[in-house]
């Protein structure tokens, strides 16, 4: 009997039983387990069967049955990957084959998941120097979460070392600006920035320092603090609701300016001023310079003064006069300013407060 004929017998058997395991076919056909695995793999490749589960508990069903019985699929998958010749898109492919619920997500949610997952896994593969990388995907209570954990040098420590910064907090601040990379020839540094914008909740945790971005809050708040548990390496947690209406294109459009006809680039960023001091005072030129570090890469800089009640003359002068004179082509757009903050900005710009007008995007 040919392989094709035996494959047809398996399909007929699954139609009757609905679910079948490898040992059932071995017993009925009286052939080796290796040969049965060959038959089953051929049927999976031809998309005539779907494998559910792994190892000895795995079973096989018809695609038609699977589409009407999503409850048979696991809603959690965990993999420990050896970081040797890993390719993020192949890992994603394997996970989606084992978790059809991902393929059945809303198109916009699936697009965000695939982008975010591959970006963060690529970071771990290429930057962590970790021997192993753990990957977990969980679907629960209408939320899709993935966790990627490595045991390497740590994202914040790496940036501190390569960019000669003073602390992990400064490394977080650089990441939040966008375009922060330790290997500029090979990477743009955009991955974490855009991934964090597409999530409902995004967490980056490394060696005791934690950055949490909550886009479900109206203000899209960002928190920098200490971890309860100090972990070696870096852990990335990403959560998005399965009914989310967020679209990845909208996120890119928000921070993209047209450079020339048909040429678009990541040239707009938003800085939350409150994250650049541990106290409440924003008075010195050194503070302003810390905020402005590496921002000359952008065409538009949105400066969010939310929860900042007052700034000093030197601070505002450094940003809105000195920096502006040095880079006249860069648009500075302050938002969420109090009257006092706006007054200091106007003074630095040399404007009459009564005639002050915020820059728009035009």
| Residue ranges of domains in the chain | 3-70, 73-249, 261-355
Mean pLDDT for the stretch of residues 169-173: 92
Q: Which tokens go with 94? A: 């394997």
Please calculate the CA angle 69-75-77 and round it to the nearest 5 degrees.
Answer: 130
Percentage of residues of the chain with pLDDT beyond 90 = 53
Q: What integer best gives the mean pLDDT of the chain?
A: 86
pLDDT of residue 330: 94
Percentage of residues of the chain with pLDDT beyond 70 = 89
Right CATH number for 73-249 from 1.10.1060.10, 3.20.10.10, 3.30.565.10, 2.40.50.1020? 3.30.565.10
Mean pLDDT for the stretch of residues 322-327: 93
CATH topology of domain 3-70: Arc Repressor Mutant, subunit A (1.10.10)
Mean pLDDT for the stretch of residues 174-198: 78
Please check whether residue 241 is in contact with residue 142, taking contact to mean a CB–CB distance below 8 angstroms.
Answer: yes
Mean pLDDT for the stretch of residues 50-76: 79
3-state secondary structure of 164: coil
3-70 matches 73-249 in fold: no
Nearest to 204 by CA among 248, 158, 249, 165: 158
Nearest to 107 by CA among 238, 250, 245: 245
Mean pLDDT for the stretch of residues 168-195: 80
Element housing 192 (H / E): helix 191-198
**CB burial string 107-118: b at 16+ within 10 A, e below:** ebbbbbbbbbbb
For CA atoms 204, 205, 210, 216, the dihedral sign is: positive
Confidence of residue 69 (pLDDT cuts 50, 70, 90): confident
> CA 319, CA 324: separation in Å to the nearest integer?
7
Lowest mean pLDDT across 108-117, 153-162, 273-282: 273-282
Q: In terms of pLDDT, which residue wins out, 50 or 117?
A: 117
pLDDT of residue 118: 96
pLDDT of residue 142: 87
pTM of the predicted model as reported, rounded to 2 decimal places: 0.75
Q: What is the pLDDT of residues 263-291, one digit of tens each?
A: 457 889 999 999 887 556 788 899 999 99
């Amino acid at each position: 009997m040919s392989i094709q004929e035996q494959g047809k017998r398996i399909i007929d058997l699954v139609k009757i039983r609905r679910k079948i395991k490898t040992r059932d076919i071995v017993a009925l056909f009286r052939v080796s387990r290796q040969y049965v695995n060959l038959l089953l793999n051929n049927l999976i490749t031809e998309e005539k069967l779907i494998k559910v589960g792994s190892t000895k508990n795995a079973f096989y069903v018809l695609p038609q049955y699977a589409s009407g019985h999503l409850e048979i699929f696991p809603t959690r998958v965990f993999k420990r990957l050896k970081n040797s010749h890993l390719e993020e898109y192949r890992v994603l492919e394997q996970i989606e084959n084992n978790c059809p619920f991902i393929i059945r997500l809303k198109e916009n949610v699936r697009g965000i998941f695939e982008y975010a997952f591959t970006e963060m896994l690529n970071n771990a593969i290429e930057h962590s120097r970790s021997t192993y990388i753990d990957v977990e995907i969980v679907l629960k209570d209408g939320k899709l979460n993935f966790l990627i954990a490595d045991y390497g040098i740590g994202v914040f420590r790496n940036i501190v070392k390569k960019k000669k910064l003073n602390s992990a907090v400064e490394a977080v601040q650089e990441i939040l600006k966008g375009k922060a990379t330790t290997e500029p020839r090979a990477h743009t540094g955009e991955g974490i920035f855009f991934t964090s914008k597409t999530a409902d909740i995004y967490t980056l945790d490394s060696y005791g320092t934690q950055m949490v971005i909550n886009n479900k809050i109206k203000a899209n708040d960002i928190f920098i603090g200490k971890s309860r548990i100090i972990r070696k390496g870096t852990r990335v947690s990403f959560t998005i609701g399965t009914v989310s209406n967020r679209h990845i294109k909208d996120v890119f459009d928000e921070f993209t300016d047209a450079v020339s006809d048909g040429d678009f680039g990541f040239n707009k960023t938003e800085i939350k001023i409150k994250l650049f001091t541990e106290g409440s005072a924003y008075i010195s030129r050194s503070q302003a310079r810390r905020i402005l570090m590496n921002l000359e890469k952008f065409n538009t800089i949105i400066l969010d003064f939310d929860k900042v009640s007052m700034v000093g003359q030197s601070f505002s002068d450094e940003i809105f006069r000195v920096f502006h004179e040095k880079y006249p082509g860069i648009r500075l757009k302050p938002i969420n300013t109090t009257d006092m903050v706006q007054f200091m900005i106007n003074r630095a710009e040399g404007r009459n407060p009564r005639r002050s007008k915020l820059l728009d995007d035009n």
